[in-house]
Amino acid sequence: MTEHFNEQLNEWKKQVEKTNERFPERKEQFVNKSDIEIDPLYYPKEDQVDGEYSEKVGFPGQYPYTRGIQPSMYRNRFWTMRQYAGFGSAEETNKRFRYLLEQGQTGLSVAFDLPTQIGYDSDDPMSEGEVGKVGVAIDSLEDMETLLEGIPLDQVSTSMTINAPASVLLCMYIAVAEKQGVPKEKVTGTIQNDILKEYIARGTYIYPPKPSMRLITNIFEYCANEVPKFNTISISGYHIREAGSTAVQEVAFTLANGMAYVDAAIESGLAVDQFAPRLAFFFNAHNNFFEEAAKFRAARRIWAKMMKEKYQAQNEKSWRLRFHTQTGGSTLTAQQPDNNIVRVALQALSAVLGGTQSLHTNSRDEALALPTEESARIALRTQQIIAHESGVADTVDPLAGSYYVEQMTDEIEKEVMEYLDRIEEMGGAVQAVEEGYMQREIHQTAYETQKKIESQEEIIVGMNEFKIEEEVHEDLLRVDEQLEQRQVNQVQNIRGQRDQSQVDEQLNKLKQAAQTDENLMPYILDCVKSYATVGEICHVLRDEFGEYTGM
Amino acid sequence: MERKIRVLIAKPGLDGHDRGALVIAQALRDHGMEVIYTGLRQSPAQIAQAAIQEDVDVVGLSSLSGGHKTLFPKVVEALKEKGAEDIPVIGGGVIPDEDIDYLLEQGLQKIFTPGTPTTETVDFIKSCVSGDSHE
């Protein structure tokens, strides 16, 4: 028993050494205010070791990764502080990006407006009233060039919240990088590209599940060969949780979706280790502190087992569940919005103690409007305080060994597995989504939660208890109402200036390819480079694939 | 037997956040109302059409994407065009206080913001409907 433990321990020590050579620790020595030295990792003494620890908890950087995916986690580098931003025009968003980078943010995260997310140009009648509202409006490559102007794409990694038209926006990103002189092999970032949760919870789908899954596997294949450092999907529980699920449902449905993508990619002819290392995840951090921290630990363990045992992945990178976290938007209150700063701090702390790779902290005013610059700065500062002042990042997985947290991790795992078995019996996640199973489960939880809040069984401070009379909130961010018209003019200008015969030819080639089982990525890239718009490209595919119309 | 109050819950525009719409729909049903939910991405004209076809007493709109200032008044307008201006329209979602007066001027009957208990919406709808029948 102790033999195995000692093997694991020695292996971990070796890994730490290797990591430290590449990325030296943040400090020469970690000590607290009392001058007590802080070890990189605390673990059971040899006489306390039992087989359960080695098997279920183990060491960070080692299977099953309960304690984290890297051997020394934040001792070397903090998580990436990645604030989601984007509103109005490409120029404005570019300015906010540059501001955030100057303020010490370490990665970009682009929010697109709804027309872009659903594949409509700004001048489409469907887009009326929505242009530039919840994110930046991107119609053609020109907008993408403006959005990324002056941002070195060989140094900054960019996460793009884009799903149904992910292939189009990724091609635009590649095209801009090439114009900057950065080759495809060097660009880094993530596209969300998780269509299943769109049907379940988020709503920005275009095509039916089957052709949507094809586009996703096309992206996996193309990127494995051409854009190897890009994360090709961010399998998202975030929106499932926002729609009302429990923590267990969030993990269960997300991992079920993850398995559906793995199955689809394998079915399309890819080997599991060819694409699995580029799969990323995205979770929510809610209010129940220890439940959340345990949730992240459980998710890592389940995925590792799944990839190793069920899918027989050989590459250790395929076993590691890497994830981004965002604090819970639906936990924010419109009442006494400054209280939200405290909620966000607690949620962010659970994500850090759960071993997140990157983090977005919400702004206090998001139950009222898009965040102001000041609110966005406080949100970033919250992460920086956790990183630089609290000391929680000085040792790896400090919650391990807590009776409560370890048992909660086990129980979450058990309940998630029950859901996964049920979904498998139904024929997998795609089938379950089409039958509305996850949607119903989430809706039921959402309604129960609402009833508990109204009966005050759940107390929401400042909303159903500890209330005050409040004044109107004046300093909210307003999106310029003239912007829509300007964006409409701009896309119409582009259509007038470009070589139309070239656009028609590329769109036609895409249409032909869509009728075969060829990979569509090279065709989409050619369309994008000819300044065909997001709407034009998506319309070609709508004609071929049809549209999903909901349950 | 007394006719049940009929309510259309609709999501105008492209916004996909329907947790609030679904929760409200369920709450109204639990209070004995008949609720028709349109699903996502409905145009103002489609919503007005559905309201008339389903012969509803009230239309409830939900938006979290910031499009309410354009889209909510268009629903009121579309109802008017079809001669159904007597159907009261209410709205909810992430709507800043400062937009509420504008929406009321545009013919919305009431705007419910985050944190409103569903019972408050139920009571308002009941008062809307009984108010109409006394006229």
Write out chain A residues lying below 8 Å of B18, CB-based.
203, 243
- From chain A, the residues in CB contact with B22 under 8 A are 443, 446-447
d(CA A374, CA A248): 34
Separation between Cα atoms, residue A26 and residue A395, nearest integer Å:
12
Among the partner-chain residues B40, B66, B98, the one whose CB lies closest to the CB of A134 is B66
Contact list, A203 vs chain B (CB under 8 Å): 15-18, 40-41
Whether A467 contacts chain B with CB within 8 A: no
Residue A1's pLDDT band (boundaries 50, 70, 90)?
low
B15 to chain A, any CB pair closer than 8 A? The answer is: yes
Query: How confident is the model at residue B134, as a pLDDT?
Result: 41
Among partner residues B27, B40, B65, which is closest to A133 by beta-carbon distance? B65
A370 touches B at CB < 8 Å: yes
Spatial CB neighbours of A34, under 8 Å, sequence gap ≥ 6: none
Partner-chain contact A134 B65, CB within 8 Å? yes
Which pLDDT does position A477 carry in this prediction? 75
In order of A186, A198, A265, A427, A429, the CA distances from A259 in angstroms are 28, 16, 10, 12, 8
How far apart, in whole angstroms, are the C-alpha atoms of residue A511 and residue B25? 41
| Residue B9 in contact with partner chain A when CB distance is under 8 A | no
Q: Could you tell me which chain A residue has the CA closest to the CA of B100?
A: A472
Q: What CA–CA distance (Å, rounded) separates A271 from A218?
A: 14
Q: What digits encode the pLDDT tens for the residues B59-100?
A: 999 999 888 999 999 999 999 999 999 999 999 999 988 899
Name the residue type at position B19.
R
Pairing of strands A80-81, A158-161: unpaired
Tokens 């109302």, located at residue: B33
Measure the CA–CA gap between B21 and B124, rounded to whole angstroms.
16
Rounded mean pLDDT, A344-366 = 97
Q: Are A380 and A81 in contact (CB under 8 A)?
A: yes
What is the percentage of chain A residues whose pLDDT exceeds 90? 88
- Predicted pLDDT at A551: 65
pLDDT given for residue B132 in this prediction? 53
Q: Determine the length of chain B.
A: 135
Residue position matching structure tokens 């183990």: A58
pLDDT band (50, 70, 90) for residue B135 = very low
> A72-122: per-residue pLDDT in tens?
999 999 999 888 877 778 998 999 899 888 888 778 899 999 999 999 999
Using the beta-carbon criterion (under 8 Å), do A369 and B67 form an inter-chain contact?
A: no
Which tens digit of pLDDT belongs to each residue from A46-55?
888 888 999 9
Partner residue opposite A334 with nearest CB, options B41, B113, B118? B113
The residues spanned by each domain of chain A are 2-57, 73-454
Query: What is the dihedral angle through the alpha carbons of B71, B74, B76, B80, rounded to the nearest 10 degrees?
Result: -170
Tokens standing for A26?
């943040």
pLDDT at A84: 81
Q: How many residues comprise chain A?
A: 551
Q: Is the pLDDT of residue B133 over 60?
A: no
- Quick one: fold of B6-125? Rossmann fold (3.40.50)
Q: Does domain A73-454 have CATH number 3.30.420.40?
A: no
* 3 state DSSP class of A384: helix
- The values of phi and psi at residue A222, to 5°, are -60, -45
Q: Which of A133, A367, A447 sits opposite B114 (nearest CB)?
A: A367
What is the per-residue pLDDT across A55-72, written as a single tens digit (0 to 9) for each?
Answer: 999 999 999 999 999 999
Mean pLDDT of chain A: 95
Q: Are strands B58-63 and B6-10 parallel, antiparallel or unpaired?
A: parallel
Asked if pLDDT for residue A211 goes beyond 50, the answer is yes
What is the spatial distance between Cα A278 and Cα A265, in angstroms, rounded to a whole number? 12
Strand partners, B37: B9
Q: Where are the domains of chain B?
A: 6-125
Per-residue pLDDT for A474 more than 90?
no
- Contact assessment for residue B48 and residue B81, using Cβ atoms and an 8 Å cutoff: yes
d(CA A29, CA A43): 19
Q: Is the pLDDT of residue A527 over 80?
A: yes
Rounded alpha-carbon distances, angstroms, from residue B128 to A386, A515, B32, B109, B133:
50, 54, 16, 9, 9
Q: What is the pLDDT of residue A326?
A: 98
Nearest to A447 among B13, B26, B70 (CB): B26
Mean predicted confidence (pLDDT) in A441-469: 96
Which tops the pLDDT comparison, A47 or A249?
A: A249
Neighbouring C-beta atoms of residue A40, cutoff 10 Å: 19
Check CB contact of A10 with chain B, cutoff 8 Å: no
Query: What pLDDT, in 10s, does the model give residues A282-334?
Result: 999 999 999 999 999 999 999 999 999 999 999 999 999 999 999 999 999 99
- How many other CB atoms are found less than 10 A from the CB of residue A11? 14
Mean pLDDT over B21-50 rounds to: 95
What number of other Cβ atoms are within 10 A of residue A150's Cβ? 9
Alpha carbons A17 and A23: distance in angstroms, whole number: 10
In this predicted structure, the answer to whether residue B1 has a pLDDT above a threshold of 70 is no
For residues A126-146, give the mean pLDDT. Answer: 94
B122: contact with A, CB 8 A cutoff: no
| Distance in angstroms (rounded) separating the CA atoms of residues A489 and A486 | 5
Which residues are B63's β-sheet partners? B93
